[in-house]
Structure 1
Amino acid sequence: MTATATPREAGADRSALNARVFWPGLILVTLMVVLLAVTTSTAGRLSPLLIVLPALVAGLGSVRQTVIASAWAMAGLWASFLYEHPAHRGDVVAATVAALAFQALAVAACFWRTARQRELDRLRSTLVTLQRQILRPLPTVTRQVMVDGLYSPVEEDRLVGGDIYEIVSSPYGTRVLIGDVQGKGLAAIGAGFAVLGAFREAAFREPTLTAVVDALEDAVVRHNAFAEENEEPSRFVTALALSIDESAEVQVVNCGHLQPYLIDEGGSRSVPIADTAVPLGLAALADGPRLVGWFDLPPRTTLLLYTDGVTEARDPQGRFYPLERRLPDMAQLPPAELLTALRSDIDRFTAGARRDDIAALSLRRTPAQWRSPAGLAAPDEPGGHAGAAPDAP
């Protein structure tokens, strides 16, 4: 099953301070007030501290907690008056009115902040739900491969990103796409949808992988032209397109994307793709056409595709996630468990503070392909070669 981030429940109050922080904080402030009341003789010295308390809670907690803090502060203020007995009743009235006004402002500010937070949460949830409905549910099995996936959007960021993937079973084999749209938000998701639509059509129609990628390039160029007419920025898309049939070799066109990994019982190794072309949408800047490369995908070997949310995840010290060093520790795991372990390891590495979406696919040939008469290597036989050249129909 595709691993995804769990959507936040509608109406969940994420703005409230933890009770283990809120109540000890009030008690600590109360103890400070008592200490000042005992060691000083001027109630005016206590008022600023008591007025600041609701303001602090308004910036960190919920409206309910701000109201509680305001009532707590008012009770403390009146307790200080009872303890010191101010000489002029006007001082009590003035201090009370000022405290009420300031507390009302704190509650109003907290209400505005939490309302805006709920609005942003609804927007993030809508975008994530929309993206999940467009992306194919995984795992899926075709005649050639079994595919499992990990998709984990970052809802804590400003907006979700544009990580995309798709698997199409065509007359020419299984076509696989993974990509990452530049930027975030609805515009990035729109560009991603344009690429997905073009891939779903071209992957089934076109006999060559380079023709499929050319269709994706045209889709991004058309999308950017429409965006510029509406005074929106144009975007490019890094992508990796593969075609897998009954032969031992996999065809691949790399459009500025990250190199995949092959993982088996012996460990992990980067796939040697000889040619890396420019991202989709930038073909006009390239010196020549995109080329197709080949590499072997032996039986019982997992092919890992991923986006830069994996390799650019950072720990609290700012260091990047060392995927190449971590993969050998996961080499013995089945594909689905490998993706689960990868996500857990990234969460531990980043201490749960990721800044980008994560998308990853694990592909493995179906067991029926292990003894295919089309020339696929047996589980204990070595693979073939890798290179780059235009593909043939």
Structure 2
Amino acid sequence: MALAVGTGLMLHLRRVMLREVRQAREVAVAAQTLLLRPLPARIDGLATAAVRLSADRGASVGGDLYEVIATEHGVRVVMGDVRGHGIAAIGTVAAVLGSFREAAHDETELAGVLARLDRALARHLRGRALAEDIEDFVTVLLMEITPDGALHALNCGHPWPYRLGGGRAEQIAYAEPLPPLGPFPLPVDLSATPCGHLLPGEALFLHTDGVEDARDTQGRFFPLPAALADAVRGRPISPRSVLRAVFTQLLRHTAGRPKDDIAILILRNDRVTRAAALRGAGNCAISHTRPAVGGPPIGPTA
């Protein structure tokens, strides 16, 4: 009798615990869905495609973040990676995204946007340090795409994006990033890095370091440049097709179990303006010789 009662009690407690875990996960997923709202298919003339994958098996929450906002200063983009992953990272994601959504409209310069993010993150991390006795940081990439396609960026410890076009994939810059936000103060003199132009039909491929750092069973890193070159070779750039091709290769490389959170964001310039058309026509004759910003192109040059 006592054994039957004990067994029944254990089964009841197990059901209660599973129900609480399931409810907590559902709340976390709902919270992150509100934070990382699905992007519209088009934002101010830019076609979009994006994906996130949490490293926590069975979870859909993580520490990677992105947002794209059309402002009077141009389209502004943030991509970031919070130290750690899973439910614990959601508060930091909220602090960064909340600040960006306000500052992207308010600040004339990207430097002002980054300063606002830094202050918001510092307030959040001070509260967490007092409560949990931990230190944290966030890698952040800020980008601005003006109406004529000019690219400017501020990079704090994040991987540089790739420009896709003409059958090639090339990093937009090779400059050493600033340190991640959190542990160190921002430089006093802060200015965005010019990264050329995004011509009509070209696309930006933004990602978190979980993509390049993904390893196979033998410890080899995912060959992102080769995957991108293969995805754009000999065909028009479709954000969804590129996303599907790269993501499929990445999952195959990791046997479907990446060890870190992953986020990918692709933006294609679908704007057709007189200035862009003239610039595109002028670049067509020399596109096979256009150098990458600070380094060689990746992929075929024909």
| Superposed displacement of residue 111, structure 1 | 7.4
Using the alignment, how far apart are the partners of 2:6 and 2:173 within structure 1? 62
For 1:360, the equivalent position in structure 2 comes to: 264
For 1:60-209, list aligned pairs within 5 A. 116=17, 119-156=20-57, 160-209=61-110
Instruction: Pick closer, same or farther for the CA change 1:339–1:158 going to 2, 3 Å.
Output: closer
| Superposed displacement of residue 289, structure 1 | 3.9
Say if 1:149 and 1:360, in contact at 8 Å, map to a contact too.
yes
Instruction: Pick closer, same or farther for the CA change 1:275–1:308 going to 2, 3 Å.
Output: closer
Using the alignment, how far apart are the partners of 2:219 and 2:84 within structure 1? 21
Q: Deviations over 1:79-136 (max 9, x none)?
A: xxxxxxxxxxxxxxxxxxxxxx7x9999987876676455434433432232122212
Say if 2:149 and 2:276, in contact at 8 Å, map to a contact too.
no
Moved more, 265-274 or 105-114: 105-114
Q: Identity of paired residues, percent? A: 35
Aligned-partner residue type, residue 63 of structure 2? G
Structure with more of its chain in helix, by fraction? 1
Aligned-partner residue type, residue 280 of structure 2? A
Aligned-partner residue type, residue 194 of structure 2? W
Aligned-partner residue type, residue 190 of structure 1? G
Using the alignment, how far apart are the partners of 2:64 and 2:270 within structure 1? 26
For 1:313, the equivalent position in structure 2 comes to: 214
Using the alignment, how far apart are the partners of 1:319 and 1:109 within structure 2? 44
Q: Which of 260, 275, 278 matches 1:372?
A: 275
Using the alignment, how far apart are the partners of 2:213 and 2:268 within structure 1? 25
Using the alignment, how far apart are the partners of 2:187 and 2:58 within structure 1? 37
Q: State TM-score, norm by structure 2.
A: 0.82
Q: State TM-score, norm by structure 1.
A: 0.64
Say if 2:85 and 2:261, in contact at 8 Å, map to a contact too.
no
Say if 2:54 and 2:85, in contact at 8 Å, map to a contact too.
no
Q: Deviations over 1:279-308 (max 9, x none)?
A: 122342x66544311122122111100112
**Alignment size in residue pairs:** 286
Using the alignment, how far apart are the partners of 2:126 and 2:43 within structure 1? 35
Aligned-partner residue type, residue 360 of structure 1? I
Aligned-partner residue type, residue 355 of structure 1? K
Q: Which of 273, 276, 280 matches 2:177?
A: 276
> Does 2:235 correspond to 1:335?
no
- Which one scores higher on RCO, CA 8 angstroms, separation ≥ 6? 2
| Superposed displacement of residue 232, structure 1 | 4.2
For 1:256-271, list aligned pairs within 5 A. 256-271=157-172
Instruction: Pick closer, same or farther for the CA change 1:291–1:275 going to 2, 3 Å.
Output: farther
For 1:222, the equivalent position in structure 2 comes to: 123
Secondary structure class of the residue paired with 2:103: helix
Aligned-partner residue type, residue 275 of structure 2? S
Instruction: Pick closer, same or farther for the CA change 1:169–1:110 going to 2, 3 Å.
Output: same
Using the alignment, how far apart are the partners of 1:107 and 1:311 within structure 2? 49
Using the alignment, how far apart are the partners of 1:161 and 1:373 within structure 2? 38
Say if 1:144 and 1:244, in contact at 8 Å, map to a contact too.
no
Aligned-partner residue type, residue 272 of structure 2? A
Aligned-partner residue type, residue 251 of structure 2? D
For 2:194, the equivalent position in structure 1 comes to: 294
Instruction: Say which one has the larger Rg.
Output: 1
Using the alignment, how far apart are the partners of 2:278 and 2:209 within structure 1? 34
Using the alignment, how far apart are the partners of 1:291 and 1:108 within structure 2? 63
Q: Give the superposed CA RMSD.
A: 3.0
Secondary structure class of the residue paired with 1:318: coil
Secondary structure class of the residue paired with 2:169: strand
